Amino acid sequence: MKYVRDIYAARKGSGRPLVSFELFPAKTEEGEKTLLERTIPALLKLRPDFCSVTYGAGGGTRDRTLAAVERIQNQYGVPMLCHVTCVNATVEQTSAVVEDAVRRGISNFLALRGDPPGAGEFQKTPGGFEFASELAASLRARGGLCVGVAGFPEGHMACKAGKYADWQYLKRKIDAGGDFVLTQLFYDNAFFLEFYEYLNAKLGVTVPVSPGVLPLFSFAQIGHITKLCGARLPDALVKRLAELEGKDEALAAFGVEYATRQCEELLKAGVPGLHLYTLNKARYVSQVVRNLGLA
């Protein structure tokens, strides 16, 4: 299977950004059927450059993540990126997951620390990795793999030393083994543009950094997402969302329009790709990609 870093390299300078979709492994058989028979085929009509599958909180979806990546890769031939975390696992257990994935033909990994299930603070497992940079380094040392890492345009929530310290840790993570960066979602491009400039101009980052974008489509989702990842909503967006309270269809249409405008501005800034969070729904991200003329 193609390495994601080679897809970025082949596209460099072409003016055509990569489009990638993030999915999560279905929890039920019915959910898996929908994912494989409806969501994925709908997303593949847009010819994404790669898709990724998350690894559940606390490492809880190990088997379902690997199975989903393997099945989508084999059934549809689309390059796949497998998220892997080191929370709640020893180094040996994490390596065993990676080797299992490699046996299944998986060669692209997003090296993450992961969060424990629930709201608790991360605790290093005795004999485990403390930071994603250590996992990235071990994947690089293994060889034969392509490794992505996560970036946080607003700074990582748990980084008490602030966003600039977090961005310096990101640079170390890239140097340790990251071939490319996918970012946390955000709703104010100013955060990403400062982060991008800082990485490129101040820290000398040269690997591709693709922004993560999630079109808003439900009020329940907004509260959950912002709490989970700490994304701050600009005042104008909060005001508009208040006007749309109770109007679900109008909210989804606005979410698509907002994400389209966000992506247009990011593309103008020269980002190498767009990483679209789907929440396993093809409809909204498809509309964004079509609006951008990238389908």
Figure out which of the listed residues 39, 173, 187, 216 binds ligand FAD, where binding follows CB under 6 A.
173
Is 265 noted as a catalytic residue in this protein?
Answer: no
Shortest Cβ 56–ligand FAD spacing (Å): 6
179 in contact with ligand FAD (CB under 6 A): no
CB-based contacts of 131, cutoff 8 Å, min separation 6: 113, 169, 173
Q: Judged by CB under 6 A, does residue 280 bind ligand FAD?
A: no
CA distance 208 to 277: 18
Q: Could you say which of 36, 44, 46, 159 contacts ligand FAD (CB under 6 A)?
A: 159
Q: Which residues pair with 273 in a beta bridge?
A: 18
Site string for ligand FAD, 93-132 (x = CB under 6 A): -----------------x-xxxx---------------xx
In the complex, what is the shortest distance from the CB of residue 226 to ligand FAD, in angstroms, rounded to a whole number? 14
- Report the nearest approach of ligand FAD to the CB of residue 293 (Å): 25
Catalytic residue of the set 22, 70, 134, 154: 22
Task: Pick the binder of ligand FAD from 83, 191, 208, 274 (CB under 6 A).
Answer: 83
**Is residue 208 at the binding interface for ligand FAD, with CB under 6 A as the rule?**
no
**Interface residue list for ligand FAD (CB under 6 A):** 54-55, 57, 83, 85, 110, 112-115, 131-133, 150, 156, 158-159, 166, 169, 173, 182-184, 212
What amino acid positions are annotated as catalytic residues? 22
